[in-house]
Structure 1
Amino acid sequence: MKLSGLLSRSNRELPGTSGLARVDRRTGDLLRRIGPGDIAVLDQVDLDRRTAEALVAAEVVGVVNASPSISGRFPNLGPEVLVAAGIPLVDDVGTAVLRVVKEGTKLRVHEGVVYAGDREVARGVEQTAERIADALIEAKAGMAAQLEAFSANTIEFLRRERTLILDGVGVPDVVVPIKDRQVLVVAGGTRHVDGLRRLRKYIREYRPVLIGVDIGADTLFACGFKPDVIVGDPDGIGTEALRAGSEVVVPAQTDGHAPGLERIQDLGIGAVTFPATGNAEDLALLLAEAHGATLVVTVGVQAGLREFLDRGHCGSNPSTFLTRLKLGARLVDGEAVAVLHRSRVSFGVIALLVLAAVVVMVAALWVSGVGQVYVDIAVDGVRALVDQVKGWFG
């Protein structure tokens, strides 16, 4: 009885969500290692949407954050994304979890408690949709302070990067011709895969220069397009996409260090560096503008107020704001292009088809000996059809 009871309890599934721990203070490094079934253990105040979307895409089963995912400074978007995807988020468990939990440990999260086996290793707050909604309402009060800080940062950034923003000094030359062409910039934002698919007709008709930013390059390649230019850290981009790109532009820090450049060299792929403090999306837009693009269409590049203040997207970095001012009316969101664009069938193609039908009909009538009267009737009918088709296409 006792033995069977022990076996019954050992075989009984424990409540909560279980998975292998992936632990890292540096969120960027963590995102490169996580995969399906993992529990991400990180330390990020004000979890941003871009990070949350990457966690969802990696199919993690849980997230444990050592810091508050919503600090109240501004309404950041990451926690909302995770909870909406059904991923448990255990929040504000303390930094000790990063030392206690080892990489690859099997964890279980249940009602805000983190277990390794039967041992409790951390405790925090499991976020729910209701908690997040209440926290975001309170956080809106912090937006005024964020905007004030942003204004000061913008002035300082413009002092440092004014020659880049105003005159394009420092923008690298690229082999791909961009002048007087339209450019499509694909980044890894919300629904960027669907957004790219909706632009297939636009791409076929206008043949824009295709610029993939970070995982946007992988998306272009996966959808059957060859990136003309790739901008971003090569360590976060697939090998096949890198090899398919005509040219790779690697963002470099102000001291000249360019993360991922070693990988490019190991793959034998040519690349140029772009020294600037802006993020990869901003650099891609500046690249297109400096080289004379007539129109820049974006997919996965968000710039609403909430996204603008979201730390992971542009947060305290004013380069996004100034870059969009620089491009002005040339910058268009891909959603708008998809709605406005319609596939236009060439009238010339229709005219050729109608003409071919006329030739076949006339030949058949003539050979059959029906006579010229019926031939004239057929020709008049086809002319009327051509006039009608011309009316359809203006």
Structure 2
Amino acid sequence: MNRKVVIVGAGPAGLANAFWRSIDDPAATVTVLESQQRPGGWVQTSTIDGYVCELGPQGVRPSAEFATLVAALALEDRLLPSSRAARTRWIGRGGRLLAVPMGPGGLLSTRLLSLGGKLRILREPFVRRATSDDESVSAFVARRFGAGVVPLVHAMVGGIFAGDADRLEIASAFPALARAEREHGSVMRGMRKRGHASPTTTPKLPKAALYSFRGGMSGLIDALAYALGDRIRSSCPVTSIARAPGGYLVRLRDGSAVHCNEVVLACPARVSATLVGEFDPELSRDLAEIEYASLASVYLGFRADGLPPALNGFGFLLEPGESDAVVGAICCHSVFPGHAPPGHALVRVMLGGRNHPHAVDLDDPTLIGLASDALRRYAGLRTDIGFRHVVRVRDAIPQYESGHAERLRRIEHRLSEHPGLALRGNSYRAIALPAQLARAASLGPA
């Protein structure tokens, strides 16, 4: 039987799902419906005056999913590994930057923790397991590692989720840590055993902490879009979905409709909520309750002569109370040489997130001023800034806050009532890009 599959959303998750589906089931008719003119979601790259500016993620961490997709798309020669300098990271505290420790040896000498804080970490293997299923990230860290580590975790959570460690749920946001405690009684013990696990067989990539492409992250989107060809229908917004004999009826804004056997909703949960409300109000309600954080990014370019050391690493994150808008910064020129013109530096300053929701609404001059001040105060920048570029993404990053795991259980139960309907994307179990590129990563039976 020639099954008809409609994928709503041509972001990374939707494109990857369509790509793998077309390979694994070549007889199926796969159609990707995208509301915008260009595919890619918030994975978009703009090159301006030689500066490579990303709307979304700066790069991708190493993973089997990413390596497999790169090999399938034959993108190895366009891959850009991060530099060794990208391993150096900083935390902003008290108006200055302190280096993040590299490994256990660095933990002993770091100024980010007091002697008492370091000794408290060593007690982690002897801490009792949790009794609550929805413990917050900050509560989990304080209980297992001590209160001294919590400010660092707040900064790191800001960099990963643009979120609030007091509100994010440990079991959903960092499931590997929760699983290590549950299965081994200790995070340290669990992570050590995980490190000794047998490696899986995957295509090899050059060793690096992060990967991009020579023209930026859009290189991945362009390759997926090229492989899918006319299966992608751009500028084609979906208005609603209804149950129909043999599957579903997907209604479009132009008044037409597409009948299909399967629907994969690869759009943000809030968008999916509006599409399923006609036939499942309960599912719609749960999807609509997933919160998001908005982000603004200010790109600043300048001469690279005499850069301070803090601008020759990966970048920095600020602890709570350091700024009422700035989350942190990425040194794009240092992480991916070639993403700035020769002799120049490019820094991306991120503002907003769950703790600073007002920032995304500030005008460009205000955002540029806040970003410039942060580089001068924390990194010691003295060079004149010659390039400025501002981008904003509203509802950029889903927040796996208290009750998220229970909500997912309800969502999965509702999906079991709708054969052929599936959810895909970072709204549910993993915000990192590699998870969206996996061959099979849908929520639901489709």
Give the TM-score band, short-chain normalised.
under 0.3
Normalising by structure 2, we get a TM-score of: 0.20
Structure number having the greater strand percentage: 2
